[in-house]
Amino acid sequence: MQKSLEVEIKGNIVEFEGSKNFYPYSAEDIFKEKTLLIPQDNEKQIQEITHDWFAFEKFYGTREEKKLIDLIHTIIDDINNDYENVYLIRNERHFALYDFAQGRRFEPDFVLLSQNKKSQCRYQFFIAPKGKHLQQIDKWKEDFLLEIERNHQALIGVNSATTYSNDEYKIIGLEFYNHDNENHFKSSLTTQLGANNVI
């Protein structure tokens, strides 16, 4: 019995190493149309989104996720002063990241894309809204997000050793968004964008 249990446990161990290489893919290759199965008693929580910067027409999510969309709505005009091609995309299990230390799977809830009008530098932000009850449990996810900018390597092509420079492409993870820390989150985002006029 002990021997078979040991074999079973060893057989279920999967070791991952989080890669620091980030490869470019077109949005249509990652974000495919999909049907979400939502319990009927929760249908009233589906929200219509009419913003041209939000990639979907309908949204189903938590209170914190909805508050994040509201925040982006309040600052989008200021962001658009300096940036173009600004899109907030909901990650409905379209892709996952694996943390650098242990290879733990993590699916950031949102990706914010933008391009600086002057420098043409492209920004890709990973954003994860979290309720207070999850912030400590998921602290490793926030730690990982904050490591991405200084540890990633953006590569051109899946098998290419050519890299983007930091002046061309920035991949950044932000601290958890929570409505209670909204001003701090907004400051972090706008500082990263270098848009000091966004308040």
Residue 47 placed within a domain: no
DSSP state of 172: E
- ∠ CA(66), CA(72), CA(77), 5° rounding? 150
- Domain containing 134 equals 53-193
> Where does the pLDDT of residue 42 fall: very low under 50, low under 70, confident under 90, or very high at 90 and above?
low
Whose structure tokens read 């006029």?
197
CA distance 159 to 170: 20
pLDDT tens digits along 45-85: 677 788 999 988 878 788 899 999 999 999 999 999 999 99
The 3-state DSSP class for residue 6 equals helix
Residue 70 placed within a domain: yes
Domain count, the chain: 1
**The pLDDT value given to residue 24:** 66
User: At residue 174, does pLDDT exceed 90?
Assistant: yes
What is the pTM assigned to this prediction? 0.77
Residue 25 placed within a domain: no
